[in-house]
Amino acid sequence: NDGVPKPVNYSRKYGHTKGLLLWNRVQGFWLIHSIPQFPPIPEEGYDYPPTGRRNGQSGICITFKYNQYEAIDSQLLVCNPNVYSCSIPATFHQELIHMPQLCTRASSSEIPGRLLTTLQSAQGQKFLHFAKSDSFLDDIFAAWMAQRLKTHLLTETWQRKRQELPSNCSLPYHVYNIKAIKLSRHSYFSSYQDHAKWCISQKGTKNRWTCIGDLNRSPHQAFRSGGFICTQNWQIYQAFQGLVLYYESCK
């Protein structure tokens, strides 16, 4: 997490990546989320931080068989997470090369600008994971994800005032900023109050993608590493599509 529990100094040298991994020789899970200072340091017990209550947040937890973890290991190298709690037995070090180095912050591996991989959940669901490093100096949504997924995207990220990128229709597949979220007919809130990071295919397009991750549509985020995991699961798409109140067209 770039915002660690009880931080002393915030550092932008690591990715904007947030999450946790747990596994054994059979399987494990990967939690990808947007919550600063979460999870707590294990020795201090479980807690949900105030930083997760102040604004809207998002997350996805996926179970993977162990044979997927070498690919995840490579994706994490590109994301360059700020690891603040780590325990990887030596028996895994020859197969998962990068994670132990990330734990000790001693990675000497060459980091590609971006990396895309296909993952399969324990029950056979296919996912695409996009990982960008801080050397890929562009908007991950417009420059890469929308064009690769071949779909117009509606994006919901933290829209801090005067720090957001406008909707972008300059490339074959467009990216639009969601401006407000609805939870019910009488409950809605602005994207300025939403720290979540997700996007979906525009309604009516044939490629119904949902992506959940840890980067905002902000000029500053072009200089940060991070990523998104994407699925064509229909139930997930419907759930997120129903949250969109309105979005910003291109000017």
Per-residue pLDDT of 141-169, as tens digits, reads: 999 999 999 999 999 987 776 777 899 99
Q: Is the pLDDT of residue 109 over 80?
A: no
Digit-coded pLDDT (tens) for 48-97? 877 778 788 889 999 999 999 999 999 999 998 888 888 888 889 888 88
Cβ(100)–Cβ(76) under 8 Å? no
pTM over 0.85: yes
Alpha carbon distance 154, 157 (integer Å): 10
Count of beta carbons in the 10 Å neighbourhood of residue 137? 11
4-26 confidence digits (pLDDT tens): 777 655 567 777 889 999 999 99
pLDDT at 97: 87
Contact 152, 202 (CB under 8 A): yes
Tokens read off for 26: 């059979």
Helix/strand number for the chain, H first, E second: 4, 12
Residues with a catalytic annotation lie at 195
SS3 70: helix
How confident is the model over 209-238, as a mean pLDDT? 93
